[in-house]
Amino acid sequence: AAPGSPAAPGINRLEGVVRGTVFVGDRLEIVVETGAGRVTVEAPSGGATAGEGEAVALLWRPEDTLVFPRPAP
């Protein structure tokens, strides 16, 4: 979704900037800096993705959310 465009009701949304992309076999791991911190997004390799420094909007269903604890210092 384009930054600034509304999300459908019940859909999570974060806006941010792409900070890097790593190719990991059949998928890409895309790091996005958001107001909530850094988020890593997985996407199929071979698809169109935003480049480093580009503004993006992340949208996903609540049931697709995975949260991992920070490692202890």
Taking only the tens place, the pLDDT of each residue in 52-61 is 999 999 999 9
Buried b (16+ CB within 10 A) or exposed e, 22-41: eeeeeebebbbeeeeeeeeb
Other CB atoms within 10 Å distance of the CB of residue 64? 7
What is the pLDDT, as a whole number, of residue 67?
Answer: 83
Find the mean pLDDT for residues 30-54: 91
What is the pLDDT, as a whole number, of residue 30?
Answer: 94
| pLDDT at residue 1 is higher than 60 | no
Mean of pLDDT over the chain: 88
Q: Which residue has the higher pLDDT, 47 or 22?
A: 22
- The Cα 21–Cα 30 span in angstroms is 4
